[in-house]
A = this chain, B = another copy of it.
Amino acid sequence: MSRNALKLVTIGGGSSYTPELIEGFIKRQDELPIKEIWLVDIPAGEEKLNIVGRMAQRMVKKAGLDWTVHLTLDRREALKDADFVSTQFRVGLLNARIKDERIPASYGMIGQETNGAGGIFKAFRTIPVILDIVKDMKELCPNAWLVNFTNPSGMITEAISTYGQWDRVIGLCNVPVNAMIDEPPLIGKTTEQLTYKFAGIDHFHWHKVWDETGKNVTMDILDKIEADEGDGGLPKNIFDVPFYRAQLDNIQMIPCGYHRYYYREEEMLDHAIEEYNGVGTRAQQVKRLEHELFELYKDPNLAVKPPQLAERGGAHYSDAACEAIASLHADKKTHMVVSTVNHGAIPDLPEDHVVEVSAQIGAAGAIPMAFGALAPAERGWLQLMKNMELVICEAGVTGNYGLALQAFTMNPLVRSGHTAKRILDELLIAHQDYLPQFADTIAKLKAAGVTVKDPIARDLDKEPATV
């Protein structure tokens, strides 16, 4: 590693989150001796790359730094001799997410973009691309670290580890970050005063908290969240239905915001259908927000991250990536919650697969903190969900239709049966351009006349995919 002249590469550089990433690097300039930042995107994202890339260049310049910010469509050139590669791309752009959400909703099911039916397809689209990136990295920058925050972050990290056979990877999510920012003030503490222990998988984890006197303050925090003095870092994209306290009293841990999909499925479904029939699904809302953000970014006078980005839902995601990179490079031995190989930290899950846990991040990589065995309820849930991830990854690699159906059947947000199968089939058709592994199946479905029912999802490809 060129320790004093770091080359950082960001794939999906045209993302609206890039300014947060650049801000994060600037904030850590003392820890990160950066020489070059390469923002990479695909032709379809070139316009956005140019807008946000120039904004990035202005930010660096304004900070008085001599870093070079390269904008490129040539991924291999960017990867050559890279020290850190971060991935934040979205295969199929927001239009693909709109399909992920609307097609299930058109049949009365949740099409959430991470663990729901939509999440399954986001994984299916992303896995071939990320494995291709890993293949390039093995050739072009074998000592680089890959910091992934492309969703579904846990499954993508699993695919990188298991199918890519690449162990220099850390998967990130902003959900734990937000919790650790928003919870401490609720009980009059700072983050530094608390000890956090997280365990689970991406978007499906729980945590316990102790204060600086060794007191377990988990339930105190829940008391405050319940009393509506805070939302415990609930992401903007999650409808805020409360958990049942009797259930939490049994769990004795704080569930992540996404647990609402599993512990209050009915309300989350009602809300999703309401949005589908009304203001549009989250992706449609985000698309509008993105449009506004890019309009802002075009302003040649803007050289700091605009406050509107915080509305985007992924706040602190990019900052977490910067912190991970700084911790790895400067051997900071920071506590972060990351997707990494289990190694026994959660004894109820396989030792050699990816989990999301508290870990110490330093030059030696991520060292997970052992959490210990879970109680039966949490254990059962987590074993289901992790195995579903494994099934999704295998289906995403092999294009096996039976396995895809198995994944749908396992997903607690999908009610199995002919409607579920129909949703699976429509999503295959809708995303055909990004699912080479399923080509044979898609051909059969098309021959059988399967088409997308939801008119908005169906007609999306007719308009230019600018976002």
Contacts and interface: CB of A to CB of B under 8 A. Distances in A.
A50 interface: no
Contacts of A417: 264-268
A250 B402 contact: yes
A301 interface: no
A364 to B, nearest CB: 4
Contact of A416 (B214, B265, B335, B409): B265
Contact of A377 (B265, B347, B379, B403): B403
How many protomers of this protein does the assembly include?
4
B370 A343 contact: yes
Interface in A349-381: 351-352, 358, 360, 362-365, 367-373, 376-377, 379-381
Contacts of A335: 333
A377 B212 contact: no
A405 B3 CA distance: 40
A250 B394 CA distance: 12
A97 interface: no
Given A197-B367, A331-B195, A387-B377, A400 B250 contact: yes
Contacts of A320: none
Contacts of A346: 344
A211 B363 contact: yes
A233 to B, nearest CB: 20
A246 interface: yes
A412 interface: yes
A344 B370 contact: yes
Given A214-B364, A363-B214, A421-B244, A381 B380 contact: no
A403 B210 contact: no
A388 B265 CA distance: 18
Contacts of A403: 250, 377
A28 interface: no
Given A343-B370, A403-B377, A195 B362 contact: yes
Contacts of A265: 415-417
A401 B246 contact: yes
A289 to B, nearest CB: 28
Contacts of A376: 387, 390-391, 394
B369 A379 contact: no
A44 interface: no
Given A213-B363, A264-B416, A377 B344 contact: no
Given A401-B246, A402-B249, A368 B370 contact: yes
Given A265-B416, A387-B376, A344 B371 contact: yes
Nearest to A390: B376
Contact of A195 (B266, B358, B364): B364
B383 A380 contact: yes
A370 B367 contact: yes
A128 B212 CA distance: 34
B373 A380 contact: no
A68 interface: no
A342 interface: yes
Contacts of A193: 331
A189 to B, nearest CB: 11
Contacts of A364: 195, 197, 210, 214, 216
A54 to B, nearest CB: 34
Given A195-B331, A343-B371, A370-B342, A1 B213 contact: yes
Nearest to A395: B250
A402 to B, nearest CB: 3
Interface in A162-218: 193, 195, 197, 210-214, 216
A327 to B, nearest CB: 11
25 contacts: A3-B213, A195-B362, A195-B363, A195-B367, A197-B367, A210-B363, A212-B331, A213-B363, A214-B328, A216-B364, A244-B402, A250-B400, A251-B406, A263-B416, A265-B415, A266-B415, A269-B415, A344-B371, A344-B372, A368-B369, A376-B387, A377-B388, A377-B403, A381-B387, A384-B384
Given A1-B214, A214-B328, A250-B405, 12 more contacts: A211-B363, A244-B421, A247-B406, A343-B371, A344-B372, A345-B370, A347-B347, A368-B369, A368-B370, A380-B385, A380-B386, A383-B383
